[in-house]
Amino acid sequence: MTEKNDVAVIGAGSWGTALGGHLADKLGHVTLWCREKEVADGINSAHRNPFFLPDVDLPGGLTGESDLAAVASSHRILVIVIPTQFTRAALKEIKTHIGAETVFVSASKGVEVETLAMVSEMYAEVFGPEEADRRTCYLSGPSFAREVLRQLPTAVTVAGRNEALVKEIQELFHTPAFRTYAATDVVGVELGGALKNVIALAAGISDGLGFGYDARAALITRGLAEMMRLGVAMGGEAATFSGLSGLGDLVLTATSDLSRNRTVGRRLGEGESLEAILTGSREVPEGVKTTASADQLARREGVDMPLTRMVYEILYDDRDPESAVSELMMRSLKAE
């Protein structure tokens, strides 16, 4: 049985704040580690996150804390919601403060650019493969922070190789408004959550160009095929990509105005530069970095991913979006 003081969330961006609020509603109290002291102070004094979701009221049981060592050493369950590119460094620091019974729920989505490591591979490298499997599970699926905090119906997947831990975390997060499904395909669940952001950028670019719903549907469908090809090549199960962490998350992220990745893509399609879009943004959409990682992974694994390559060229080679889409449409014809 999870005690109310067992759980802390590490990372106070939008998604970390939402998961902290969700669990605080259920448990009565959850600690949220905030990198910025101003965020912790705002949560404690006004029950709002002043940097992320500043207009959303948070549960009174959500407490902000900016001392990572104190949080890591005093809670058994740590929900890690740190941007992927900073996850490895955070895990190395956390490792020096945890006990033998500490377990992790990873809710970050992406692939490390420098090493091409998935988040699960970072845990394995920091803690050792057996310890990482014993201690860690991975939460992914179609979920927007604002809707979770409003307690609108949401369903996600909890994946892991420790069946008992997956069951505990599945029960921990489950409420009448937040349904959790268990899975063992860590690779597929992780890659689904990461790669869908790349396709959401592509869908946004298409929308920004005014190409309509037919084009968006085609991009989502062919994008899912790309995700599945790479996922299977890397050891994931094809069926996983038809589930919540694959198709579900892809449809949500590629079609909603609440999606940061789709919004960045739309603005690119409308003619803005990536630099202008990201200037002043506190949260860089994971898809921007994941596109670079996914493009490299496709080359490494010998997997054909033309949509991912198109997004890469638009983001990093200043490719004109309209010409990139035209080139995709004029590729040699093939069977589906």
Is residue 200 classed as helix, strand or coil in its secondary structure?
Answer: helix
Write down the pTM of the prediction.
0.94
> Where in the chain are all domains bearing CATH 1.10.1040.10?
188-329
- State the pLDDT at residue 253: 96
Who contacts 263 (Cβ-Cβ below 8 Å, separation ≥6)? Answer: 204, 257, 285
The number of beta carbons lying within 10 Å of the beta carbon of residue 283 is 13
User: Which three-class secondary structure state does DSSP give residue 152?
Assistant: coil
Cα separation, 176 vs 170, whole angstroms: 13
Instruction: Please choose, from the candidates 82, 91, 73, the residue with its C-alpha nearest in 3D space to the C-alpha of residue 13.
Output: 82
Give the pLDDT score at 5: 65
Class of 7-184 in CATH: alpha beta
Q: Which of 26, 109, 196, 289 is catalytic?
A: 196
CA distances from 218 to 202, 249, 307 (A): 11, 16, 11
If phi > 0 it is left, if psi is from -120 to 50 it is alpha, else beta; for residue 76 that is alpha
* Cα dist from 80 to 84, 114, 242, 326, whole Å: 10, 20, 25, 41
Architecture label for domain 188-329: Orthogonal Bundle (1.10)
Contact between 32 and 9 (Cβ < 8 Å): yes
Written as six digits, the tokens of 317 are 């080679």
Stretch(es) of the chain classified as CATH 3.40.50.720: 7-184
Contacts of residue 193, defined as CB under 8 A and 6 or more positions apart, other chains included, come to 109, 140, 141, 245, 249
Question: Is 95 considered catalytic here?
Answer: no
pLDDT averaged over 10-residue windows placed end to end, the chain, 336 residues = 74 97 96 95 95 94 96 96 95 96 96 96 98 98 96 98 98 98 98 97 96 94 96 98 97 95 96 91 86 97 96 95 86 79
Burial 296-329 (b: 16+ CB within 10 A, else e): ebbeeeebebebbbbbbbbbeeebebeebbeebe
